[in-house]
Amino acid sequence: MTLRFEADGVVLDIEGTTSSTGFVTDVLYPYSRKRFATLLAERGGEPDVARAVAQVRELLDAPEADLATIERALGGWLDEDRKVTPLKTLQGVIWSEGFARGDLVSHFYPDVVPVLRRWHREGLRLHVYSSGSVAAQLAWFGHTPDGDLRGLVDAFFDTENAGPKTAADSYRAITAATGLPAGRTLFLSDRPSELDAAREAGWLTVGLVRPGEPYSAQGTGDHPRADTFDEIDITTEKETP
């Protein structure tokens, strides 16, 4: 079935929507887990690392927490796949370097890149909003099996510059940043709770249900459902009354 929308922009979730959660948890997570201790021990003076360490201490309510405690907290959040901002910041530092070094290449479902290229050609504004940090998103789009796709994307949003993905205010903040009308902004995500928050902010929504993804069993609640990006038809034309 084809879903039809009039919109000016699309906002993309990554994990479970453009890309496989299994790839993130099986490839990216172990890559970061192995490198947290060295990052904390050797690069604590870098602004991103220092900010993330301070945020972890705040979340633990332990201002004196030592680096071993911080590393344990990061490992625990990884085990539970918690989308905690400082975890994502530190992962972003590690992954960016891994992508730049050629250790990592990102994953996109096969339907995604051709559709993103077409939407971009047709004048739709494309944005990313992911729990992964902006640094991680840039590395992800910059090192794909199809080359550097950062040029397709107008702006990148994460939980640090926009806020949590289940809060309607985060979507309002993105609307303010992009300047696109909320009612002509389409959010694509695998998580019903994120889709609910986007709709509360006045956005259009589509839930992606891909086989084997952790949220696929939940369905999309009362949001339109697509199994692939090919099922989403968007026009930038405004219907004449």
The rounded distance, in Å, linking the Cα atoms of 25 and 71 is 18
104 binding ligand L4RZE5RM? (CB under 6 A): no
Q: How far is the CB of 84 from ligand L4RZE5RM (least distance, A)?
A: 10
Contacted entry of Mg ion, ligand L4RZE5RM, none for residue 136, CB cut-off 5 to 8 Å set by kind:
ligand L4RZE5RM
Q: How far is the CB of 238 from ligand L4RZE5RM (least distance, A)?
A: 30
Bridge-partner residues for 157, per DSSP?
A: 129
132 binding ligand L4RZE5RM? (CB under 6 A): yes
Site string for Mg ion, 151-190 (x = CB under 5 A): ---------------------------------------x
15 binding ligand L4RZE5RM? (CB under 6 A): yes
Q: Which residues bind ligand L4RZE5RM (CB under 6 A)?
A: 13-16, 24, 28, 83, 88, 91, 130-132, 136-137, 140, 165
